[in-house]
Amino acid sequence: MEHPTALVVDRDPAVRDALRAALESQGMMSQAMSSVDALEHVRAHKPDVLFLELDEPTAGETLAGMTGAHPGLVVVGLLGAESTDAAARALDAGAFDVLIKPLSPTALATLRTRVVAQRDLVAERDGFRDELRARAGYQGLVGRSAAMEALRERIERLASTDANVVFTGEAGVGKTLAARVLHGMSGRSESPFIAIDTPSFSAEGLENELFGSGDVGAFNGARGGTVYISAIDRVPGAIQDKLSDLLGRGGAVRLVASTSMPVAEAEEQGRLRPGLAEQLAGRVEVPPLRQRVEDIPLLTRHFIQSIRELNALPPIHLTPESLTMLEHHRWPGNARELRNAVEQAVILASGGMIHPRDLPDAIRSAEAPAAPAASGSDSSEIFKDAKRAVVEAFEKKYLTGLLERNRGNVTAAAQQAGMLRSALQRLLRKYSIRSAEFRRRPEA
């Protein structure tokens, strides 16, 4: 790992400054502060290692709070004098090691190597765990947001039926993947799944691909299984009529389709025959990525892991700054755009870390705030402060508008934002925004 990040928490400013200088001499990017400000720093920046003074009376509470805010944090306890009892309590509470102040350069060099190894081990373990959870039962539908849980539930209900289904949603959200999951969870999973990419064919070629005689044609080859037709609204009307007639006679094949526009809109514009629309009785909307922002870290790790496996690459991690940029991008291309961005970043990454410079220009330029003029060694700190101010201003304005639109109903607001209710409540507490105040406001 390139340049591990460290946080030093000690009551004595002289000790903090001395240890910070020593850590930076070992190539560790560090911050130093008292315990009052440390918890918020850990939440915001996710440092790799925490050096925590254990002689302070509240050290146990501080340690628990830090590891709760950042489960992957490597904690090194610091004691002013040797104490077996204090060391044992810290280790029982989850500390990685306990050392006596002051730390020698040799001890720090050894510790740096061990911290890097531990951090990589924890990150890889978490990545495999999340990958297993994401794959288990859902064949790659990655995410734990309320929107994704609702999608899984809807697919699971439809999978137990023989209803013909249409998936709607923006380009890149994963409609084809959702169709494959539906087939895999159904009683037809052992039979063929044949996918037809409508835009790839001429009208004549598409008709032959669907209904060709003998073994040719999807509806002949998928007996007992599923035929998936993407962009059903772009299928010529005559072929739609033929599909509708085939479904009306009943048969051994289930039709699953997709469209980037709502079914009712496609009917109104004459792009989808009413009869075929009626036969596609199962309707499933796949949410855009901007409505499930909390899934971005898990999706990103999923993509990094799959790209690593495909190319036999060593462990690759994401810096906190890079993750922040990914979380604040609007993702007009949805999950497909995120995967492409991650693929580029993995190719460009050096030292096993993905930095902001490795991300596509569109993501970096969209995130860069208008920072005040900076000079000298303080420029990076001023940039971070300016970026944080821009993000916080956006979040406050968004949350206020969200609660106004939903009259202070946190559950409805969370659903509209595509967030877990608990995640929205944490943000409201962060900015001291009280939902009750919006219930009393007159309706706009």
pLDDT digits (tens, 9 = 90+) for 72-106: 788 888 888 877 777 888 887 778 888 888 888 88
Shared-domain flag, residues 267 and 387: no
The answer as to whether 385 is a domain residue is yes
pLDDT given at position 215: 59
Q: Are strands 97-100 and 193-197 parallel, antiparallel or unpaired?
A: unpaired
Residues 321-352 have pLDDT tens digits of: 999 999 999 999 999 999 999 999 998 888 88
pLDDT given at position 338: 96
Last residue within a domain, chosen from 335, 367, 399: 367
* Domains: count for the chain: 4
Highest-pLDDT range among 23-37, 269-283, 390-404 = 269-283
Shared-domain flag, residues 41 and 161: no
What's the chain's average pLDDT?
Answer: 83
Structure tokens at 289: 């990525």
The answer as to whether 86 is a domain residue is yes
Distance CA 394, CA 388 (A): 10
Among 155, 166, 227, residue whose Cα is nearest residue 196: 227
Shared-domain flag, residues 312 and 261: no
Shared-domain flag, residues 278 and 157: yes
Q: Return the CATH number at 330.
A: 1.10.8.60
Tell me the one-letter amino acid at 24.
E
Shared-domain flag, residues 127 and 150: no
The answer as to whether 267 is a domain residue is yes
The answer as to whether 372 is a domain residue is no
Last residue within a domain, chosen from 235, 258, 287: 287
Contact 367, 391 (CB under 8 A): no
Residue 82 burial (CB count, 10 A): 9
Shared-domain flag, residues 178 and 306: no
Residue 137: pLDDT band (50, 70, 90) is: very low
pLDDT given at position 329: 93
The answer as to whether 16 is a domain residue is yes
The answer as to whether 220 is a domain residue is yes
Distance CA 9, CA 51 (A): 6
Shared-domain flag, residues 173 and 204: yes
Provide the residue range defining the domain that includes 191. 146-287
Last residue within a domain, chosen from 287, 302, 328: 287
pLDDT given at position 369: 42
The answer as to whether 324 is a domain residue is yes
The answer as to whether 343 is a domain residue is yes
Whole-number Cα distances in Å, 34 to 8, 9, 31, 430 = 8, 5, 10, 20
Distance CA 141, CA 149 (A): 10
Q: Return the CATH number at 87.
A: 3.40.50.2300
Whole-number Cα distances in Å, 440 to 111, 147, 408 = 56, 29, 8
Whether the per-residue pLDDT at 132 is higher than 60: the answer is no
Residue 135: pLDDT band (50, 70, 90) is: very low
Nearest 5°: phi and psi at 194? -115, 120
